[in-house]
Amino acid sequence: MDLIQSHRSEGEELSEHTSASRVIAQKPVVGNIVVRDKLFLLKPDFQDGGDQRYYCPHCAQLEGVLSFYPRLRKEIDVEYVDFARPRLAIVKLLGEENQDAPVLVVGGSLPPSVNVDNGSANAQVFISGEESIGLYLAQRYGIGLPH
């Protein structure tokens, strides 16, 4: 638990769900450049005004993929961010205009064998949306394709 606490952002609270599933990699970011693939998902049970609590179905779909293929948690970094904007961890890498989640920031460059819609910002390639991220994970890591 000390390793997880030392790598979370100041003031960040981890739920039982995220602390058990978070993967901490050594030096995942050099400067502001991601060197391993990094997937950003919204934390569940957020509020969007009022007392009602929500989860993001797009992020939940990728949680399902991570549960189907647990080895992915060892091969990519997964970070849970708050629903409220600005989502500083994403903004730091991709800018305010690209802070939607889910988003996967590609470590290094996009392999030539991967064919998915992508964007770029601040010298980072990123993939938005659960369908494109699922296709990327299948092509890059050899998991099943979404069908």
Q: What is the mean pLDDT of each run of 10 residues along the chain (147 residues)?
A: 33 37 48 89 96 98 98 98 98 97 95 94 97 98 95
pLDDT at 97: 98
pLDDT at 48: 95
Q: Do residues 17 and 43 touch, judged by C-beta distance below 8 A?
A: no
Between vectors from CA 91 to CA 40 and to CA 97, what angle results, nearest 5°? 105
The 10 Å Cβ neighbour count of residue 42 is 21
The 10 Å Cβ neighbour count of residue 139 is 15
43 backbone dihedrals φ, ψ, rounded to 5°: -65, 140
Alpha-carbon Rg of the chain, whole angstroms?
Answer: 15
> What residues form DSSP beta bridges with 120?
125
Beta strands in 15-94 (DSSP E): 29-30, 33-34, 38-42, 46-47, 53-54, 77-81
Q: What is the pTM of this model?
A: 0.80
pLDDT at 68: 98
